[in-house]
Structure formats: C-alpha cells, structure tokens
Chain A
Amino acid sequence: MYRFINSLGSFAIESIEFFIFMFQNLLHILSPKYYTKYTNISLIKELYISIINNLSIFILFALIFGSVIIVAITTFIINFNLKEQIGILLVSIMIDEFSPIFTTFFLMLNYSLYTHLVVANNQKETNQTFSRVYLPKLIAGIVSVVSMSFIFATIMVLSGFVVSLLYLDIDLLTYKSLIINAIMVQDIVILLLKGIVFGYIISSIPIYYAQKSNQDNRNKIKYIIKTLIGIFMSILILEAIFYITKGLI
C-alpha cells in the first residue's frame, strides 16, 4: 500500500513536471528572443533530417497503406450501401483522422527516437541549448507533421479516386465534386491543428525523457521506451479530445 501511494505520488509529480516543461517550451517557441542565427541553421538541418531524408520512404508507405485503407473504406461503403456518402466518409477518415495519425506514428518511430538519442548524448546543458538544439527540433517536428500529413492526405485522395474508379465506377468529375462538396474548411483546420499539436508532442516528449535520461545514466533504454509509450498515449488522448471537441462544435 505504501509503495502504491509512493508510486502514485511520484507519478503525479512527474506529470506536473511534464506539463510545466511542455508549457515552458511552448512559451519559448512563441518568444522571439530564442530565435538566433544558430537556431535557423539547426532548423534547416532538422528539417532535412525529419522530412527530406524520410520523404521517399514516407510516400511509398503512404501509397501502400493509403491504398489498403481506401480499399477497406470502399468495401465498407459497398457492403453498407453508402455510395452517396462516399465523399463524407473518405474526407472524414482520410483527412481528419488517418493522415495526421499515420504521419505522427511514422515520425515517432523515426524522428522522435533520433531526437531522444541526440539530446540524451548531449551531456552539456548551457544557456544556448534551447535555441540551438531544442527549439529547432520542436519546430521541425511541427513543420514535418503538418507538411507530411498534407502529403499523405493528397496521396490518399488520389488513391481514393483510383479505387473508386475500379470498384464503384465513379468517374473523375463525379469523384471531384463528391470530395469538394464533402471537404469543409474546418476539415483543413482540424488537419492543421492536429499536425501542430502532434508535431509538438513527437518532438517535446523525446526531449523531456532525454533530459531525464541524462540525469539517470543507468536506465537509458527505459527512457526510450517511456518516450515511445508517452507519445503513443498522448496521441490517443489528444485524438479523443479532438473527436469530442469536433462533436461539440
């Protein structure tokens, strides 16, 4: 019982620390004084590592998984006779839900681990660390998730046309009008918001646990796992919050 209460207390303190860290980083991103010449140089490097390095493999994954998902949705549409609702279903699943989540998980296994290892190996914490290391990574995380989500959504919409043509005999003009009628401005806003929030999560959580790892040199692997679980749980919780908020709006 004592151990349980003790672990509960440490979890509460850790959570508060985590939220304070997240809030502080957010304020730092919005503050112009942290943007230096070195920040821009590092940002270019981070963008190259997060986006350009992974772009070809990401497009390949998007084509494969996107097509699979589109086939699954189309089969669902045929089975439940929802041909008239195809536009709304494709937009809500492709743009609102699947694109940001797939991009986030892709970058979580790629860029988040890289960020964690870089920060964990950077032993010296100076006044310039945030400007030179953390800030470029946070911004690169946000930009990469936003831009790659849009790319993924575009690939899925194009795959949707091919699959609709083959399975449902829907021509290009009909498909275009279905998608345009179904897409609302709020869908793009949601995609943008999710990209920003998820991008911030995939870059800030690795930094947080990497700093913890620096303080505790014995369990490096434990903090890597915590990073992955933390990102995964945060994405699920935020997805639920987004879903509820969208329903309320």
Chain B
Amino acid sequence: MSYSSMKFKVGLFIFIFLINIAIAISYLLVQKGVFDKHYTYYFKAFSAEPYRIGMPIKVSGFKIGYVDSIKLLADTTVQIGFSVDESNRRWVLKESVIMIKKPLLGETNILLYTSAENPILEDESELKVFQTDDINDLIFKLTPVVEKIENIVTSVDKITTYLAKDDSEIIKILKNIEKFSDTLAKNNSLLTTITGDQSATNALTKSVKKLPAMMDNFNSLSKDVKDDILPPISEFVKELGNIAVDIKQKLKKLDSVVNSVDGYKGDIDKIKEDIKVSIIKSNQILDKVNSIFIDKNNKEVTLP
C-alpha cells in the first residue's frame, strides 16, 4: 500500500473519530445543562456535616439543582450554596423555604417548598431553612413506649421475684403437684390417691364387679312385669275410657237442665220481688196494729 493512501485512511479515521467524539461530548454536555446559565441561592446551617458538594435539591421529588458551595462563615455558621439552571429557576420563589430532612437511614435530603403565586426570587438570595430530624422525632415518639416497657419489666421482675420465693403460691402449687405425683406413683389407683383410703377403692371395685349380676336381675324383673302386670293394666285403661265416655254424655244432659233453669230465672226474680213487697206491707200492718195496742186513744186502723 502506498504511503499517500495510508495517510488518507488514517487521516479519515482520525477526522471521523474526532468529529464523532466532539459531537457526542457536546450533546452530552448540552443535555446535562453545562452551558446553561445558573442561578445561585444560599441557606445557612449550623453544621456542614450532612452536606456535600453535588447533593441534589428536590422539589416534589424532582432534582432541580445541586449544592455547589459550602463555606464556613465568621459567626461559625455554614453557608450552603446551591445553583439551579434557567428552566428550574421558576421553582425558587419568594417565601420559598428549604427543608432539611434527616432520615433514619441514608443521606440527608434537601427539599425546597414553594408557593406558585409568589414572584421568582432574585439571584444570590438567601432562603429560610427548617430542619426535621427523623431520629429525634422517633426518639420523642418512642419515649412513652420505652417508659411503659420499663414499667412492664419492673412488674415482671417483681412477679418473678415473688414467684421464686419458697412461700409463694406457685411454689406451693408445684410442691403439691409433686406430692400428688409422688402419691400417684406409689398407689395403684387414682381414687386411692384422691381419698387416701385403700378400702374405698376396694369397695368400688367390688361394686363394679357386682354390677353385671344386678343388670341380669333387672332384666329378668322387667320381663316378669311385661308378662303379669301389663295385660290387666291395659284392660283397666280400656274400662276407664268407657266410663269417661259415659260421664261425658251425662254431663251433656246436665248442661241442658242447667240451661232450662237459667230460662226460669226472670220469673223467679219477679216472684221474689212480689213476696218482698207483700212482706213489707204485712210488716207495716203489723206495726200499725202494734201501735193501736200501744195507743188506747186511737181506735181506728188505716189499711194500706
């Protein structure tokens, strides 16, 4: 291959390579906003410890800028500077505040809270800062729980101390159980263990042994009852039924008599009234007759 051809090919490669690299890097830098105008804002903190250069500033979870300077001021406070590009400047408004959120685990978050109605904040301005500390919040919330746990532990300690004493209820129960189990191990039956009397167990055993014979006797007795007593009783029940039917018929007749007597009731009442009037009049006559005998001057008797 000739030198000129070689030179052309190498030159072409280098040219294409450099053009491509230049385009790729330019595109990357433009996309990353390196050439955009940046606006810087500040906030103050008591310590630079949780911050680092390049930390993102977030609005509603979106990165809008980065911390680009951390300076120690004369009054020992720390000035944190962050920059945002032109497109994200609209989020940094007057009355906007910075919230520093320290999670229990992981890196500190710098959040920007803003109100959409306010005008855009001027470059190089300072923002107010608030801090929430997840660890301290958690400790604050957990303090009463820890106190309760302490009380519970103290109570449990007291209970276990009491239970460990020789005269405690649980020790007594355990001793009794031990005695009971010892006695149970020594005796042949549970009944002897409970009653403490071997003769009771023996008597129960005898009774249980007699039980089959008793059951046989009962079976034979019930058989006799079935043969001798049940037929007369059934006849008696039949006669009793006939008597009941007869009584029922007689009661019906008695009911008609009672009804007829009830129909004469008005006449009887009239007769009773007449007799009553006659008696009253007789009494009046008698009274007057009496008064004549008593009064000798009046000889005349007026009849009713």
Interfacial residues, chain A to chain B (CB-CB below 8 A): 41, 44-45, 47-48, 51-52, 55, 143, 147, 150-151, 154, 180, 183, 185, 188
Contacts and interface: CB of A to CB of B under 8 A. Distances in A.
Give the size range of B's interface with the partner: 10 to 19
Contacts of A154: 20, 24
A180 B28 contact: yes
State the main secondary structure of chain A at its contact with B.
helix
B185 interface: no
A160 to B, nearest CB: 15
A207 to B, nearest CB: 21
B102 to A, nearest CB: 23
B13 A52 contact: yes
A151 B14 CA distance: 12
A52 B9 contact: yes
9 contacts: A44-B7, A48-B1, A51-B13, A52-B10, A147-B13, A151-B17, A180-B28, A183-B28, A188-B28
A154 B31 CA distance: 17
A180 B31 contact: yes
Contacts of B1: 48
Interface of B: 1, 3, 6-7, 9-10, 13-14, 17, 20-21, 24-25, 28-29, 31-32, 34
A161 to B, nearest CB: 15
Contacts of A150: 17, 20-21
Given A150-B21, A180-B31, A55 B6 contact: no
A51 B13 CA distance: 9
A183 B29 CA distance: 10
Given A41-B3, A44-B3, 6 more contacts: A44-B6, A44-B10, A47-B13, A47-B14, A48-B6, A180-B32
Nearest to B25: A188
A51 B10 contact: yes
A47 B10 contact: yes
A147 B17 CA distance: 7
Contacts of A51: 10, 13
Contacts of A183: 28
